[in-house]
Amino acid sequence: MQLLTEPFEADVVVRALVAGVIAACLCAVVGCWVLLRHSVFLGDAMTHGMLPGVAVAALLGGSLMAGGLLAALAMSLGVAAIGRSSKLASDASIGLLLVGTLALGVIIVSRSQSFAVDLTGFLFGDVFAVGTVDLVVLAVALASTFIAVVIGHRAFVAVTFDPRKAATLGLRPQLAIPALTVLMAVAMVASFHVVGTLLVLGLLVAPPATALAWARSIPAVMVLAALIGSAAVYVGLTISWYAETAGGATIAGVAVLMFFASTLLSQLRSHWRRASVAVAGACLVAGCSGSSPAPQEPPETPAGEHDEVVVEGARELDGPLTKLVIVDPASGDTAVYDAVDETESMIGSYGAVAAIAGDGRYAYLQTGRGATIVDAGAWTFDHGDHYHYFAADPVMVGSVDIPVSSAAASNSLATVASDAGDVAVLDYEKLGEHAVEPAGLSLGREVTAALPFGNRVVTVSSTGRMHVVDDDGATDLAGECPNPSWSRASRRAVVFGCETGAVRVTGGDEDLTVTAMPFPPDAPTQHPQQMDHRDRADVFAGLSAGTVWVLDSRQRRWTAIDVPDAVAANTAGDGAVLVLHRDGSLGSFDVNERTETARVSLFHDGVPDQGPQPVIDIDSDRAYVNNAAAREIYEIDYADGIRIARTLRTEVVPGLMVEAGR
């Protein structure tokens, strides 16, 4: 299940899935008529014929979709005109226009120095670049097409199977045929962002062709084709994620493979009945050969019966909460801000606070030589293949005798560590009862970094040696991490920053595997001393002097981006990293291209050099940036051009901040 759900933890893949499903439904409705009217070659020609229209629209600064739609319709009109006035067969005229329009489009692109359309993306699509506007266009196209098909169903059926009868019944085939052509063009233009013009025919033809082998009515073919197309989108995106192939092409390829698999099953279907009769007869003979009753199968357990997670004093929710623990560093005034209700709950004042760390539920405030632990009252319980969400009243839990600089937790253990290398392991369940108790694991004196991994702890010593510690003691790991500097836990791994790069520890209940991720040979010599990430994600971001570092631990890839004035950085793991600049602006950088793609101003007077620096806390939907001077927290929709979704105003000065609940 993790393999099937992991790709969709990234927001860009979720958007791609939504766009692909909508496009699959749209193409299923239209593709059914394309097949029944034997217009596949015409559809292919129309997809190629869109290129000149898109090119001209780009030159004139107009809508690319409008240009593509007009060109596709002009292509269909040209085919009809040549077919009526020429002695050539219709397929010959379609072929000539197909080559001609494609050549014209390429000529326009090649001669224009200012042409801004990515030809490769147009031809083959970029499903992972689908934006909000594309989703709206797809949804509007689907709704409009569905309404048109419902209204014109009788006319479309009649003109498809018997045009003369359609005319006799007064169903106006002279209007029905152009209407079907327009619907075909709309489906192609709306979907080409997902799979491209050259591959859109795969979604338009393959799922309906597959459905025709199993359904007998037109509505049933449309529904089944929509399901098959949606399945092809899901499988294609999953394969694309792990195989690192082009998303649109993979989706189209999966749709075609499903057609051939369906054809094979359809051929075998005629033999199933005879085989099932033989099997039934064999079972009957076997059943009569003995007198002992067959053992009874235990009754199936209803889904979810043993799935209940009960936490005393907490209430389970349908979805996650977002709470922000904010602290005034000077006075120690601490509050929990509910980002959903925009309410602030005062917890207490604890004197000067130098730093703050969080583990997803608890905030650890560095107060002098120890730390004060605050329960934010919101957390997510990882149940393996799904999550449970809980809420309770925020409260101060207790303290620990370590000046905490970092913290992490599993469902049973919590580790807290200081900059000096002191590490403590706490019983996480006892923390839920508001009792601070050691977990009873002996780490050893040389341990300077530790992270919980289920009911075990992975440790790194000052010499770089790595161990896994459980109730039975410490076991060596086949790996090393010299001079550990930072540590972070994801959902399926723990990652330690080292002098030479980083190491990732993965595995199950038995063996653990250590994977080295060294710095690239051409990387800057100054390395990050701290890294942040979206909770449970595998991509991390951090800073060194003049450089933003991004580590994709799953791909074992480091990326260094030159940003001289960076103050803070974080990433949601979707190919972009958010960077707060010293002038107070927030930028979004494309990690692969290492270029800034968007920027928005947050701090009007810039970020001061003195005092605790702002942070970027990020979750699957939003990012939060704290502005202590203005007593504001900015909620950023980073998937929508780093738009400022809300400005949250606080009573407590939000000099330090950590997110909980997600």
CA–CA distance, 596 with 587 (Å, rounded to integer): 7
Closest CA to 477 of 507, 445, 518: 507
Q: Is the pTM of this model over 0.75?
A: no
Confidence bin at 266 (pLDDT 50/70/90): confident
- Higher-confidence residue of 337 and 270: namely 337
Give the DSSP H/E element, type plus range, for residue 374: strand 370-375
What's the pLDDT score for residue 290?
Answer: 45
Confidence bin at 295 (pLDDT 50/70/90): very low
What's the pLDDT score for residue 5?
Answer: 75
Integer CA distances (angstroms), 594 to 118, 559, 589, 600, in order? 19, 8, 6, 18
Query: Do 543 and 613 form a contact (C-beta atoms < 8 A)?
Result: no
Region 158-183 average pLDDT: 68
Return mean pLDDT, the chain.
82
Render 545-586 in DSSP notation, one character per residue: TTEEEEEETTTTEEEEEE-TTEEEEEE-SSSEEEEEETTSEE
What's the pLDDT score for residue 291?
Answer: 41
What's the pLDDT score for residue 530?
Answer: 92
Percent above pLDDT 90 for the chain: 36
Give the DSSP H/E element, type plus range, for residue 79: helix 64-85
What's the pLDDT score for residue 298?
Answer: 38
CATH number of 2-263: 1.10.3470.10
CA–CA distance, 647 with 336 (Å, rounded to integer): 16
Coil, strand or helix: which one is 415? Answer: strand
Residue with tokens 């009649």: 158
Candidate from 212-221, 359-368, 531-540, 583-592 with smallest mean pLDDT: 212-221
Candidate from 164-168, 318-322, 551-555 with smallest mean pLDDT: 164-168
The pair of structure tokens assigned to 395 is 């409260």
Closest CA to 550 of 535, 522, 567, 528: 528
- Higher-confidence residue of 495 and 278: namely 495
CA–CA distance, 498 with 488 (Å, rounded to integer): 12
Region 490-503 average pLDDT: 93
Region 164-179 average pLDDT: 65
pLDDT at 229 over 80: yes
Opening angle at CA 491, ends 580 and 337, nearest 5: 50
Candidate from 5-19, 187-201, 605-619 with smallest mean pLDDT: 187-201
pLDDT at 466 over 90: yes
Nearest 10 degrees: CA dihedral of 94, 95, 96, 98? 80
Region 157-184 average pLDDT: 69
What's the pLDDT score for residue 123?
Answer: 57
Region 103-120 average pLDDT: 63
Closest CA to 197 of 71, 28, 77, 91: 71
How many residues are present in the chain? 662
CATH number of 311-434: 2.40.128
Report the sign of the C-alpha dihedral through residues 41, 76, 38, 226, in that order: positive
Confidence bin at 630 (pLDDT 50/70/90): very high
pLDDT at 142 over 70: yes
What's the pLDDT score for residue 505?
Answer: 94
Q: Could you say which DSSP state residue 519 is in?
A: P
Region 119-146 average pLDDT: 74
Opening angle at CA 228, ends 10 and 91, nearest 5: 115
Confidence bin at 198 (pLDDT 50/70/90): low
Confidence bin at 133 (pLDDT 50/70/90): confident
Side-chain-facing half-sphere of 79: CA atoms under 13 Å = 27
Region 157-180 average pLDDT: 67
What's the pLDDT score for residue 149?
Answer: 86
pLDDT at 578 over 90: yes
In the chain, CATH 2.40.128 sits at: 311-434
CA–CA distance, 293 with 32 (Å, rounded to integer): 52
Query: Do 581 and 588 form a contact (C-beta atoms < 8 A)?
Result: no
pLDDT at 293 over 60: no
CA–CA distance, 657 with 633 (Å, rounded to integer): 9
Helices (H), ranges, 118-246: 119-124, 132-151, 153-161, 163-168, 173-195, 200-212, 218-243
Contacts of 419 (CB under 8 A, 6+ apart): 403, 405
CA–CA distance, 418 with 466 (Å, rounded to integer): 18
- Model confidence over 44-97: pLDDT tens digits? 777 777 778 877 777 777 777 777 778 877 877 776 666 555 555 556 667 777
Closest CA to 43 of 89, 76, 92: 76
Confidence bin at 657 (pLDDT 50/70/90): very high
CA–CA distance, 417 with 544 (Å, rounded to integer): 21
Cα–chain center distance at 331: 40
Query: Do 433 and 439 form a contact (C-beta atoms < 8 A)?
Result: no
Side-chain-facing half-sphere of 157: CA atoms under 13 Å = 8
Closest CA to 598 of 553, 558, 644: 644
Confidence bin at 550 (pLDDT 50/70/90): very high
pLDDT at 427 over 80: yes
pLDDT at 566 over 90: yes
User: How much of the chain is helix, strand and coil, in % rounded to 5?
Assistant: 40, 30, 35
What's the pLDDT score for residue 154?
Answer: 82
What's the pLDDT score for residue 299?
Answer: 40
Report the sign of the C-alpha dihedral through residues 620, 339, 320, 490, in that order: positive
Amino acid 26 reads L
Residue with tokens 């960077």: 579
Residue with tokens 């606080």: 650
pLDDT at 324 over 90: yes
In the chain, CATH 1.10.3470.10 sits at: 2-263
| Class of residue 613 by CB neighbours under 10 A (exposed 0-12, middle 13-18, buried 19+) | middle
Query: Do 582 and 606 form a contact (C-beta atoms < 8 A)?
Result: yes
Region 433-457 average pLDDT: 89
CA–CA distance, 246 with 123 (Å, rounded to integer): 12
